Structure 1
Amino acid sequence: MFVRSASERDLAAIRALLVETWHATYDDIYGERRVTEITDEWHSIPLLKANLAQPRSEFLVADDGKTLGGVAYATASEDGKTVTLKRLYVRPAFQRSGIGTALLSEIEESFPGAERLRLEVVVDNHRAVAFYKASGFAVLDGEAGKAVHASGLAIYNCEKRIG
């Protein structure tokens, strides 16, 4: 897999990867119906297309020429000091192969003036929480720092110093 910038021609494959990954990760936690509602809202083609055009952002895919193995999307604050990772997903068949680490590293390198990288991670997604902690992120306000996302999902707000 190599990491490259996403393009409009990737959008259907990105959506398929996101839907597959969300169902594999969250169906047992939230139920298939709720996961479908979330993916339809958060990972629609029009929204993904708008992400491609977002200023101060980076939209990446991990690609082997046949299949997309992962996707990452992040935006920077106006001053460029804070980057927010909005998406980092690896297709289930490719998890634990270094793709998530490669995408995260490329996101960090894409914002050279940034001082911190922030993200939200669903509390019940234990593998993702462990991945981010192993990648140097800390849960803001410790384990008591649980918040509730607008979707109703319990999340941790995490941050990592970069740059």
Structure 2
Amino acid sequence: MFVRTAGERDLDAIRAVLVETWHATYDAMYGAAKVTEITDEWHSIASLKARLIKPNSDFLVADDGKRIGGVAFAESVDGGKTVVLRQLYVLPSLQGRGIGGMLLDEIIESFPEAHAIRLEVEARNTRAIAFYEANGFVRSGDAGEHAGASGEPTLVYRRPLADLS
């Protein structure tokens, strides 16, 4: 797999990755119907297309030339000092192979002026939490700005980045 910038031609494949990953992760927690409702709204082609042109952001895919195996989307806030990782998903069949780490590394490299990267994660998504903690993130709060799929506040994780000042 190699990581590259997402393009409009990738949107159907990106949506497929997100839908499959969300169902694999959240069906047991929230039920398939709720997950379908969420993915239809949050991961619609129109919603994904808007991310392609969002200022101060980067939308990446992990691609092996035949399929897209993972996606990541992040944007800078606070005048570029903080990167907010909005999405990082890898197909369930490809998890544990370093693809998530490749996407995360490329996101960080895309924002060289940033001092920290922040994300929100569902409290019951223990696999994602373990991944982020293994990659240097530390829990910094539990009242994220967004409610998770359950309607409960998400957990906030943060990782300092090299201070370039």
Classify the TM-score, shorter chain: over 0.9
Question: Which letter maps to 1:149?
Answer: A
When the two structures are aligned, how many residues end up with a matched partner? 160
Report the TM-score when normalising by structure 1: 0.94
> Aligned-pair distance for 1:10?
0.1
Q: Distance in 1 between matches of 2:158 and 2:78?
A: 18
Q: CA deviation at 1:155?
A: 1.6
Residue 161 (structure 2) aligns with: 162
Post-superposition, which runs of at least 4 consecutive aligned residues in structure 1 deviate over 6 A? none
Offset at residue 41 of structure 1 (A):
1.1
Query: Partners of 1:31 and 1:146 in 2: how far apart?
Result: 23
Segments of structure 2 that go 5 or more residues without pairing to the other structure are: none
5+ residue gaps, structure 1: none
- 1:77-105 per-position Cα deviation (integer Å, ceiling 9, x unaligned): 15110110000000011000000000000
Q: Percent identity?
A: 57
The Cα RMSD (Å) is 1.3
Residue 98 to residue 150, structure 1, CA distance change in 2 (3 Å) = closer
Alignment of 1:93-132 (within 5 A): 93-132=93-132
Partners of 1:22 and 1:106 lie apart in 2 by 22
Provide the residue aligned with 2:55 in structure 1: 55
Match of 1:149 in 2: 147
Q: Residues 87, 150 of structure 1: CA spacing in aligned structure 2 closer, same or farther, 3 A cutoff? A: closer
Could you list the per-position Cα deviations for residues 10-56 of structure 1 after superposition, in whole angstroms to 9, with x for gaps in the alignment? 00000000000000111011100110111111111001000000000
- Amino acid of the structure 1 residue aligned with 2:62: A
Q: TM-score, normalised by structure 2?
A: 0.93
